[in-house]
Structure 1
Amino acid sequence: MPTSTQAAPAPAMLANAAPANDAPGNAASASAAAAYTNPVSAGAVDTFPDPAVIKGKDGRWWAYGTTNPIFNSRGETGEHILPTLTSPDLVHWTYAGDVFPLTAKPAWWPAGTRPWAPDIRYYNNAYRLTYSLSVGGIGLATSSGPNGPWTDRGQILPAASGCPSGTIDQALITDTDGSYYLYWGSYDTICVARMNSDGTAIAGPVTQIGHGRRMEGGFVVHRGAYYYLFYSDGGCCDGAFSGYTVKVGRATSPLGPFTTPTGVALTDLTSKDGDVLAASGNGWVGPGHNAIATDLAGQDWLVYHAIPQNDPVFPPVTGANGATLNLSKRPLMIDRLDWINGWPVVRAGAGPSRGAEKAPVTTWTVGSTFDGNAAGFTGGFSWSGGLLTTSAAATSLSAGSVTGNVRVEGDVRGTAAGISYGSVTAWLDSSARRLVVDGAVVGSVALPANFNYQSWHTIVLTRRGTSLTVSVSADRLLQDTATVSLTLPSSFTGGRIGAVSRSGAADVDNLGAAPLYVPVTTRVADPVVGALLPAYSDEFDSTAPNAGWSWVRPDATVTVSGGSLVRPTQAGDLALGANNAGVLLRDAPAGPFVVETKVQFDGVRGNQQAGLVLYDTDDRFVKLAHSVLPLNGVANTFLQQTEFTKEDGGRSGPSFGGPAPGTMWLRLLHRDGVARMATSRDGVTWTWGAAWTMPRPFRIGVVAMGGTGATARFDYVRTYAAG
């Protein structure tokens, strides 16, 4: 069912339309779902981490995942190397094999490696699947079809890549000039480099474009004027204590610099705002490592993995490297990706979905994958081998017409191939090297010098009112090679869709039209703070904390001075077995509440920290702190992080919030057994982040620990009723 933030559906666009399934075996509409429930991989595989997704030239969606024990529940005790799924509708998935059999690993792989984090692209007549090796290095496999057979192309980036965080979590993008870029990096730096002309090696300098604690999983798309770098931070794979979140920065160049919604550079040595997806306390933890798919209506979908909190881990399994492994279950998830005020966010900020949601649009109102016949298209093209083809200038038109706000797309191949919508035609002019639009409106834009007209490309015409946008890409992965924006005459009403050749041989496939999606333009409202609860608060305006406080391990260095609680950091800590730091505590109110503090902190050495806790025992708490953490791979370099950590029963895991300047405001909201964090740099504008489950009992606490030499000044601790 639609969520409360989903806008109303688009007006009907039919006018004498042919049936949506006018072609037998139409893969785009054979099993379209009205609704879905996460995880969408349920019933197909047990787990599917780090998903990469593409809409194949066969009209189906294909997904590729990290090496994992996908059939453990069926009695298999080992792993599948880069398993593959396929779906007609992004909802119903079927196992389709593995990229590499366990018995046929490429000979060049180092011993003891497990392939991770595939990325899938299509250009120059080939599907290009890159993957990283757990011991370092990035490999490439190619195929003429989305399900192989795959040809090993060897290593395209060595372990010593020039990026301080090593070589995993790679992703490709094709820029508008036809050049290729490779992004990679993990724990705690993401890098980029321009590649050579065939995308088989880097050919430019390595540029660091992101720094963050456990930053990894970079995935870049080009939308409008910006390149958007999606990435994940926090812990990916710690079972119920996984703090993974998806965040984003944007830039005007594929090389950066990338910045967050509040203007923080992704290379700054602090944690970042720009949350796209974070745990909400509804049973999914660690949502992250995303790809993006676009449905037939033009709606984008975040494709990612998440961990079921109540069933988070496998029993010990035999890894593809022969080792005994303890792994988290990370099934395949999808959720609507909204673009609000120029920034992407899942479900308008509601987080990963739990119940029934409106499914992607995967059925054309008019159109076909041409798997069985010409599907009612008549004219100069012939049907052959699952596509429309011609050897000379020709046009074939659908039986049905479309009007209103609509998205028309088709895969084309040829030196003058294109598609039409009513009296508008968009085609590839190889002689002029341009994407040309003519008919009711006229325009064109240059195509790259290396554009391959004999390789499949997707042309998309998007009409919203009188605005028409025409784009071309190799694989529908938000990396358009060329885009034309035009204004339609008010008299334009639409019409039939068609396959077009302006001259010479051309092929057209997967041609159809669907009502254009209606964008969600308003975020879910942030939590509201209610009335101050003085009995659970302290302004520190006396010479000592007020009567509500008590200690676990008293700290004699704490004073109240100048309207602040002054806490020098202790050498002790509150982390798993190291429970020797003092915790200043007071009772929490019985109902939902928000506890807030303003803290000035001058920590510069790892792991100094200061902040709030919801504390039950030394082994059961949630902590929100300004923490100083080392930047992995770079000596004597530290990050100022907003750390949001849960510990319970000998396990713990961090998530990370917004920027952590020297003076910052912290909030913890507790409602219905869930604690959610927020930070601010001015006490007025708040960045809300992830949530951890934390049932009562607990008390509110203040800590300053992790190493001596720093001082925290808490201006107040205020507790409010939650609005």
Structure 2
Amino acid sequence: MTGLGLVGAPVAATAAPARATYENPVSASFADTFADPSIIEAKDGWWYAYSTADPLRAGDEPGVMHIARTRDFVSWQYQGTVFDETNRPTWATPTSGLWAPDVRYVDGRYVLYYTVTDTTLDPGDADSAIGVATSPSPTGPWTPSDAPVVAPRTRPGTDPAARDFLWTFDPSGFTDVDGQRYLYFGSYNGGVWATRVSEDGLTATGEPTLVAIDNKFEGSYVVRHDGWYYLMASSANCCAGPTTGYSVFTGRSRSPMGPFVDEDGISLTASRAGGTILVTQNGNRWIGAGHHALATDHAGRDFLVYHALDRDDAWLEEPFGITKRPMLLDRVDWVDGWPRTRAGAGPSDTPQPAPVTGSDLGLTPSDPAARGFRGLRPGPRDIQSGAAGRVRGTARTTQDVTGSSVRLRLDVRGDRPLEVRLGRGQDQVRVRVDERAARLTVRSGSGRSTLTRTDDLGLRGDGWRTLVVEVDRGGVLAQLSEDDLGDPFAEVRLTDRDLRLRSAPLRLRSTRAVVDNVSVRRLAVEADRLVPVPQRGALIRAEDFSGPLADDDWTWVRRDADATVASGQLRWPLQAADLTGESNNAGVLLSDRTPEGTWIAETKLDLDLGEETVRNFQQAGLVAYRGDDDFARLSSVAIWNTRQTEFGRELVATSDGRTSYGGAIVGTPDAEMWLRLAHTTDAAGEHLYRAATSRDGKAWTWGAVWAFAPGTSPRIGLVAHGGDTPALTAGFDYLRFYRTTWPAVDGPRS
């Protein structure tokens, strides 16, 4: 999240130990479900993850938000729960859910925000609110506040007595470079909001601002990267078992209060809401990837911590009906200014390089005075950090820092200035943290010039600070934060194109500063381009609707006599019918010439669903159809006040024949748009369909993948249904099939 954006070939740097690997789900050793994860690197050198209040395994009691920890993201230890009967918030009803924790380090203590689904503040049900608890330790004891940080809210303009409560869910904290603290919260019923909070993080102040539209986004998380504020939020149903299509989308802004727009400049508050895909399912075992947090490793690479479902094992057996959502981990690449999970490849189900933890140079980060430094004295044993080091005069590492791209991370405490030096002579970088003067200063010397940049500290306090210094050839970035969660309260960027660090020890200079968790690593090398996507090849066949539908080209499922061909279009009035659940009364027009092999099906759709008004659930588009209870539908659809493109899946989900429907959201819709389904079969014989949408027929957004079982024969068709009020007609210009390739990005399973 710090973000000098080093890309391309790695450079020579400090020697590093062999890289460990992990495999998803990372929570498997202690939990089958660990949903809505939040994570922090605590001052004791461990990473702590927190989850929502589900049973860890089948048959377990739900638990009131779980805690686990790791040092390397490979081995994990369960640490118990946040709350129990002794410290449960008194203003939460006994049956209230306590969901979606978000952890921060604020002014010397840990602060945990969480959702309370039902409070005692109103006699009715579902008056959700945001709670907050504090602790000196990441494992507690946690002390809940006596009142919500964000109280229950009713819909603006309605009678409060009607108790039409908005979903005040899914909190996420953030601290800006000026020291102002924010809290993001909200969900489908009401949208995502941002509010300022007090310096201690416990009280909302001022009026909240809508930053993402209702009925599309929840589970928000905000980071600052390269001067931009990125709002990342989940979309679609989190918990539809084997048809869960949950995904995460991103918008960015120059202000933490928005407006946030996607890579096409479309706002997250528009009725045809934007959103650049951060993670979505790719055809391997994992579906429903979402509700995330970000962690930055010691090499400066960001990792997405999120939950997902195994599509072949989506439910807890006892109690049935709770989705099994284990915790996953995957790297994030910042490509052209946008975060992408594995450069767009999506969730991993093969061994992956683990986050870089620990330090080079022979240092022991959690006890920096133990070895690797000369002149660093043992410091006072801190209740939060444990063993620490005290800098009196100059301390230097016994090994040199080499190479031109390095990352230093350390925690510092005390009101005495601390100076950090990397390199030597004119080819060095000096960073000075001065709490008394409230200044963060970076100085770079190269050749005969010296460059200096300074930023005021946005916060003052007695707690630990985390200093990060990244040097990437001619760029220097220094950040001071409380928790290294992408929300620094001071930041300095300096460009010195002549800078080349000379090999030298890392030097720390102060009169009494205390330091801990000192890490020096080669700066991570990120991917600088997205993984390949299917490309349209040679035309296989086309139906351009230049004449009547031929019986040897098309088959109707429930023929609709109102569908006609005129002026080069299939004109199909939307039916008051559907395919989901037990309805199964909508017409489906199937192509009799669906090709074999790997191909793309494409159509151009004219369907003006308007904006803002409620037209549930008028839609039209493409369908991969095996039957009324086994299909994947890509459509432009009205969902309450929003307009979305949904790639929905229905299948028989239980042994007694019950169906499940869920969907993944793809790109932004328009009155005129293009839809694609790319098809392949994998080594196991499964049919994989990946969806794409476009608003101009040229730039395409490729989204989620749905799978059909081996041995089936889905056919491609068209649909137009969801309601006939107001009367609307979908226009299809053509249905064409093209050759393509399915790029190997390790997504589809073999």
TM over 0.5: yes
Decide whether the 8 Å contact of 2:443 with 2:451 is kept in 1. Answer: yes
Of 508, 520, 523, which aligns to 1:513? 520
How large is the Cα RMSD of the aligned pairs?
2.1
1:704 has 2:720 as partner: yes
Of 623, 639, 660, which aligns to 1:651? 660
Of 496, 504, 508, which aligns to 2:505? 496
Decide whether the 8 Å contact of 1:80 with 1:102 is kept in 2. Answer: no
SS in 2 for 1:293: strand
Decide whether the 8 Å contact of 1:275 with 1:345 is kept in 2. Answer: yes
The residue that corresponds to 1:408 in the other structure is 408
Whole-Å separation in 2 of the counterparts to 1:629 and 1:165: 17
Question: What CA deviation, in whole Å up to 9, does each residue of 1:90-144 have, x standing for no partner?
Answer: 2221101111125642322123111111001112101111111123111111111
1:538 has 2:543 as partner: yes
1:567 has 2:572 as partner: yes
The residue that corresponds to 1:477 in the other structure is 485
1:146 has 2:138 as partner: yes
The one-letter amino acid paired with 2:348 is S
Question: Which stretches of structure 1, 4 residues or longer, exceed 6 Å deviation after superposition?
Answer: 6-9, 161-164
The residue that corresponds to 1:25 in the other structure is none
The residue that corresponds to 2:105 in the other structure is 122
Alpha carbons of structure 1 residues 359 and 640: separation in structure 2 relative to 1, 3 Å = same
Alpha carbons of structure 1 residues 212 and 667: separation in structure 2 relative to 1, 3 Å = farther
TM-score, normalised relative to structure 2: 0.87
Mapping 1:40-79, distance limit 5 Å: 40-72=26-58, 76-79=59-62
The residue that corresponds to 2:64 in the other structure is 81
How far 1:656 moved relative to its partner? 1.1
Whole-Å separation in 2 of the counterparts to 1:162 and 1:126: 34
Whole-Å separation in 2 of the counterparts to 1:445 and 1:480: 14
Whole-Å separation in 2 of the counterparts to 1:97 and 1:483: 36
The residue that corresponds to 1:597 in the other structure is 603
Whole-Å separation in 2 of the counterparts to 1:663 and 1:370: 58
How far 1:379 moved relative to its partner? 1.7
SS in 2 for 1:69: coil
Alpha carbons of structure 1 residues 551 and 449: separation in structure 2 relative to 1, 3 Å = closer
Decide whether the 8 Å contact of 1:123 with 1:456 is kept in 2. Answer: no
How far 1:655 moved relative to its partner? 1.2
How far 1:349 moved relative to its partner? 0.6
Decide whether the 8 Å contact of 1:193 with 1:203 is kept in 2. Answer: yes
How far 1:11 moved relative to its partner? 3.4
The residue that corresponds to 1:275 in the other structure is 277
The residue that corresponds to 2:645 in the other structure is 642
How far 1:701 moved relative to its partner? 1.3
Decide whether the 8 Å contact of 1:212 with 1:270 is kept in 2. Answer: no
Of 312, 321, 326, which aligns to 1:326? 321
The one-letter amino acid paired with 1:257 is P
Alpha carbons of structure 1 residues 490 and 152: separation in structure 2 relative to 1, 3 Å = closer
1:156 has 2:149 as partner: yes
1:342 has 2:337 as partner: yes
Percent identity for Structure 1 against Structure 2: 38
Query: 537-546 or 180-189: which moved more?
Result: 537-546
Mapping 1:151-230, distance limit 5 Å: 151-154=143-146, 155-160=148-153, 165-188=166-189, 189-211=191-213, 213-230=215-232
Whole-Å separation in 2 of the counterparts to 1:584 and 1:700: 9
Whole-Å separation in 2 of the counterparts to 1:372 and 1:426: 19
How far 1:700 moved relative to its partner? 1.4
Decide whether the 8 Å contact of 1:387 with 1:507 is kept in 2. Answer: no
Alpha carbons of structure 1 residues 428 and 584: separation in structure 2 relative to 1, 3 Å = same
Alpha carbons of structure 1 residues 492 and 422: separation in structure 2 relative to 1, 3 Å = closer
The one-letter amino acid paired with 1:146 is P
Decide whether the 8 Å contact of 1:409 with 1:513 is kept in 2. Answer: yes
Of 644, 662, 669, which aligns to 1:660? 669
Whole-Å separation in 2 of the counterparts to 1:351 and 1:269: 27
1:715 has 2:733 as partner: yes
Alpha carbons of structure 1 residues 370 and 197: separation in structure 2 relative to 1, 3 Å = closer
Of 437, 442, 447, which aligns to 2:442? 437
1:580 has 2:572 as partner: no
The one-letter amino acid paired with 2:310 is P
How far 1:9 moved relative to its partner? 6.8
The one-letter amino acid paired with 2:737 is T
Decide whether the 8 Å contact of 2:474 with 2:500 is kept in 1. Answer: no
SS in 2 for 1:408: strand
Of 345, 351, 360, which aligns to 1:365? 360
Decide whether the 8 Å contact of 1:606 with 1:629 is kept in 2. Answer: yes
Alpha carbons of structure 1 residues 651 and 491: separation in structure 2 relative to 1, 3 Å = closer
The residue that corresponds to 1:378 in the other structure is 374
Query: 645-654 or 490-499: which moved more?
Result: 490-499
Of 622, 625, 630, which aligns to 1:612? 622
The residue that corresponds to 2:684 in the other structure is none
The residue that corresponds to 1:352 in the other structure is 347
Question: What CA deviation, in whole Å up to 9, does each residue of 1:622-677 have, x standing for no partner?
Answer: 111111111xxxxxxx2111111101111111111111110000001111111110
The one-letter amino acid paired with 2:285 is G
Whole-Å separation in 1 of the counterparts to 2:410 and 2:60: 43
SS in 2 for 1:348: helix
SS in 2 for 1:240: helix
Decide whether the 8 Å contact of 1:410 with 1:419 is kept in 2. Answer: no
1:693 has 2:694 as partner: no
Which consecutive unaligned segments of at least 5 residues does structure 1 have? 1-5, 21-28, 318-324, 631-637
The one-letter amino acid paired with 1:651 is S
Decide whether the 8 Å contact of 1:9 with 1:517 is kept in 2. Answer: no
Whole-Å separation in 1 of the counterparts to 2:474 and 2:637: 52
TM-score, normalised relative to structure 1: 0.90
Whole-Å separation in 2 of the counterparts to 1:481 and 1:545: 67
Of 434, 442, 463, which aligns to 2:471? 463
Of 657, 660, 680, which aligns to 2:694? 680
Of 49, 59, 74, which aligns to 1:91? 74
How far 1:71 moved relative to its partner? 3.4
The one-letter amino acid paired with 1:281 is G
How far 1:343 moved relative to its partner? 0.5
Whole-Å separation in 1 of the counterparts to 2:453 and 2:434: 10
The one-letter amino acid paired with 1:50 is D
Decide whether the 8 Å contact of 2:213 with 2:268 is kept in 1. Answer: yes
Mapping 1:298-337, distance limit 5 Å: 298-317=300-319, 326-337=321-332
SS in 2 for 1:247: strand
The one-letter amino acid paired with 2:24 is N
The one-letter amino acid paired with 2:513 is A
Query: 413-422 or 293-302: which moved more?
Result: 413-422
Query: 370-379 or 686-695: which moved more?
Result: 370-379
How far 1:393 moved relative to its partner? 5.0
Whole-Å separation in 1 of the counterparts to 2:411 and 2:368: 17
How far 1:294 moved relative to its partner? 0.6
Decide whether the 8 Å contact of 2:8 with 2:528 is kept in 1. Answer: no
Whole-Å separation in 2 of the counterparts to 1:174 and 1:124: 11
The residue that corresponds to 1:256 in the other structure is 258
The one-letter amino acid paired with 1:217 is G
Whole-Å separation in 1 of the counterparts to 2:289 and 2:318: 23
How far 1:214 moved relative to its partner? 4.0
Decide whether the 8 Å contact of 1:286 with 1:306 is kept in 2. Answer: yes
